[in-house]
Amino acid sequence: MSEENNKGNYGADQIQALEGMEHVRMRPSMYIGDVGVRGLHHLVYEVVDNSIDEALAGHCDKVDVWINEDNSVTVKDNGRGIPVGIHKKEGVSALEVVMTKIGAGGKFDKDSYKVSGGLHGVGVSVVNALSSLLKATVYRDGKVYEQEYQRGKTMYPVKQVGETDERGTLVTFRPDEDIFQQTIEYNYDTLASRLRELSYLNKGITITIEDRRVIEENGDFKGETFHSTEGLKEFIRFLDGSREMLIADVISIEGEKNDIPVEVAMVYNTSYSENLHSYVNNINTHEGGTHLSGFRRGLTHTLKKYADASGMLDKLKFDIAGDDFREGLTAIISVKVQEPQFEGQTKTKLGNREVSSAVSQAVSEMLENYLEENPNDAKTIVQKVILAATARHAARKAREMVQRKTVMSGGGLPGKLSDCSEQDPEKCEVFLVEGDSAGGTAKQGRDRNFQAILPLRGKILNVEKAMQHKVFENEEIRNIYTALGVTIGTEEDSKALNLDKLRYHKVVIMCDADVDGSHISTLILTFFFRYMKELVEGGYVYIATPPLYLVKKGAKKEYAWNDADRDALNEKFGGSANIQRYKGLGEMNASQLWDTTMNPEFRTLRQVAIDNGTEADRIFSMLMGDEVPPRREFIEKNAVYANIDA
Ligand code: 0RA
């Protein structure tokens, strides 16, 4: 066929498709959120979601993901295979339509029960548009078909390349470096966490990951297999692995109300925190929404009714609030909604009204049965609730003290805070520094116009193990609230944070680059994660990165942030340089600290983001909780400083 003929065949639909793909490349963030690390990983989720959909429709039970050596990613499933026949309306193969038409997805298959979908079901064509190369291979009807695309543009019509007795779809794509300018390097742990999560949310599917960039000692590629038979119940056990359960086993609820599939699993543990995770169509709804409020309502109503009837509340002198029913509760709520309405700042809040009553009813009915059938657990739960209510009354006094101090502001700033002169919060930064001596250096080294210093005394309270009122009574923590100018909400929603009067738009944790320092950073992060989540989600929290080494030779002098850089500098200086290892911030003088860690022109600040809220919860509870073995294992696996201090 001649070129002209090709062009002649180019119908209005194809031209529209092309424009769609170009729009994705022009405005990628509109489709995948951002073009940083998050967006990069999003591409994988988008492709995987298509396979999960095929599995939810009952046609597939295996999804394999591998990260290739060149950072391309392959996703393979054993589903029906994307159809390759000519699509009547579009005039090209259905495969090509799926791959090049924005918003086509699997919609032309009316029977498909499409409920999953990344952010949010934008379709694999978006991935195609943002890939320098994508290859789709379809195993279907005994044949193998193939088609390739460059930056979303079809390279050739679908062709048959062989025969097979397998079925399925295989997609390999390489993210386009022109789009993902920051990096195209995939993080194994990020992908593995999401795939593990998906396997719990969709029980019965086997999902594997293989990192072909890394060969293990036994000669195999690094990898894992995820498969869950009990779904959310197992997910809870995994999440709460380092917490101590209060009841015999995880309570699980599964059913359908008004055509909305509802799955809930929950357990009470000995901690004081509430950990609710909610999902809609496999998407983590960080901001909650109607499914979560339905769960809360169902839980409170049912437990209250049971507690009242039990007579256990008769001697209680104060009433029980909604919060009290959720202290030490870990729960996951997962619903599948045909046409979800997402609202909120990050579009992760479910708006559909009808879902609230569906979840509330499902939870009420099934929990009521559970309590009747398990009186011992029921009693334990009610006792826990009473304890929580009692502590809440103590907490209120402590909280009112924080509140009063914060509200009175003006002269009310903590004495230890060395404030900056600038008044515009957007320009202001505050450094939380461990210890008074490092605090002193930071105070001398800073630019006092816009940088404030708040020294913290040694190790701050481990909020993971403390009751709420202890947290609010803690002086260091009270100083953080007052210095930041944030206030905590009313009793009903006792931890909601008000950021309207936030005094600094950069809150920087600056600790030593050693084991102790990272422990302190983790304690502070735990506090932020549990009590000031909105601050983290708003992107206000940063971690400073002080250098590890000073490499000196004669008049030449440079800093190194890791061993490789240190060795490279040594080589650059001609070898046998003098190497000073900074054990702590205190070993640097004020100008060194400014040059390397505080000066906006040269420093590297790491912004703290919650990438996977459910996984973050698990890690914090493990790192800061009671059980030592899982913590040790994690630290051994992830320790960056270990060999330095050994
Ligand atoms: C629409 C129709 C059919 C299959 C699919 C979509 C499909 C899409 C993807 C994406 C990744 N893996 C997939 N597997 C299947 C087939 C309809 C039929 O055969 O009747």
**479 or 17, which is more confident:** 479
**What pLDDT digit, counting tens, does each position of 335-346 carry?**
999 889 999 878
Q: Kindly report which listed range (182-191, 222-231, 508-517) carries the lowest average pLDDT score.
A: 508-517
Q: Which atom of ligand 1 is nearest to the CA of 171?
A: 11
For residue 46, CA distances in Å to 66, 170, 195, 200, 599 come to: 15, 14, 12, 18, 39
Mean pLDDT of 46-70: 96
Paired tokens of 367: 């929990």
Count CB atoms within 10 A of the CB of residue 35.
19
Q: Among the atoms of ligand 1, which is closest to the Cα of residue 77?
A: 12
pLDDT band of residue 539 (cuts 50, 70, 90) is very high
Residue 419's nearest CA partner among 475, 477, 483, 481 is 483
Domains defined along the chain, listed by start: 20-227 (3.30.565.10), 232-392 (3.30.230.10)
Quick: pLDDT tens for 433-472. 987 788 999 999 999 999 999 999 867 899 988 888 888 8
| Cα torsion 608, 613, 619, 622: sign | positive
Cis, bond preceding 120 (omega within 30 deg of 0):
yes
Lowest-confidence segment of 104-118, 239-253, 535-549 by average pLDDT? 104-118
Q: Which of 94-108, 180-194, 213-227, 393-407 has the lowest mean pLDDT?
A: 393-407
Using a 6 Å cutoff on CB, does residue 82 contact ligand 1?
yes
What is the mean pLDDT of the segment spanning 371-385?
95
Residue whose tokens read 């498969």? 227
Which residues carry out catalysis?
Answer: 434, 512, 514, 516
Q: 512, 509, 503: which is closest to 431 by C-alpha?
A: 509
pLDDT at 585 (0 to 100): 86
**Residue to mutate, 124, 125, 169, ligand 1, most ligand atoms under 8 Å from C-beta:** 169
CA separation for the pair 205, 621 (Å, rounded): 28
Q: Is the CB of 137 under 6 A from ligand 1?
A: no
- The pLDDT assigned to 198 comes to 98
Residue located nearest, by CA, to atom 4 of ligand 1: 82
Sheet holding 251-257, edge to edge: 251-257, 260-268, 329-335, 275-280, 283-284
Q: Average the pLDDT over each of 359-373, 405-419, 603-617 and give the range with the smallest value.
A: 405-419
Q: What is the pLDDT of residue 84?
A: 96
Please report, for residues 221, 246, 538, the alpha-carbon distance to residue 31 in angstroms, rounded to integers and kept in the order given.
Answer: 32, 43, 21
Distance 138 CA to ligand 1 centre (A): 10
The pLDDT value given to residue 115 = 44
Q: Provide the pLDDT for residue 317.
A: 81
Residue 504 confidence (pLDDT): 98
Cβ–ligand 1 contact at 80 (below 6 Å): yes
pTM above 0.75, yes or no: yes
Give 197 or 616, the one with higher predicted confidence: 197
pLDDT digits (tens, 9 = 90+) for 257-314: 999 999 999 999 998 889 999 999 999 999 999 999 999 999 999 999 999 999 998 8
> 54 CB less than 6 Å from ligand 1?
yes
Q: Structure tokens of 481?
A: 């609230």
d(CA 63, CA 40): 20
As a whole number, the mean pLDDT across the chain is 88
Q: Does 106 contact ligand 1 (Cβ within 6 A)?
A: yes
Are the CB atoms for 505 and 600 separated by under 8 Å?
no
Lowest mean per-residue pLDDT among 77-81, 399-403, 461-465, 476-480? 399-403
pLDDT category at 407 given cuts 50, 70, 90 is very low
Tell me, using a 6 A CB cutoff, whether residue 51 lines ligand 1.
Answer: yes
16 Cα–ligand 1 center, Å: 23
* Mean pLDDT within 34-62: 95
**pLDDT reported for residue 318:** 82
Distance 254 CA to ligand 1 centre (A): 28
Distance 397 CA to ligand 1 centre (A): 59
Cα of 108 vs centre of ligand 1, distance in Å, is 10
Which residue, by CA, sits nearest to atom 12 of ligand 1?
A: 51
> What are the pLDDT digits (tens) for 558-617?
999 989 999 999 999 999 999 998 888 888 899 999 999 999 999 989 999 888 889 888
> What pLDDT was estimated at residue 279?
97
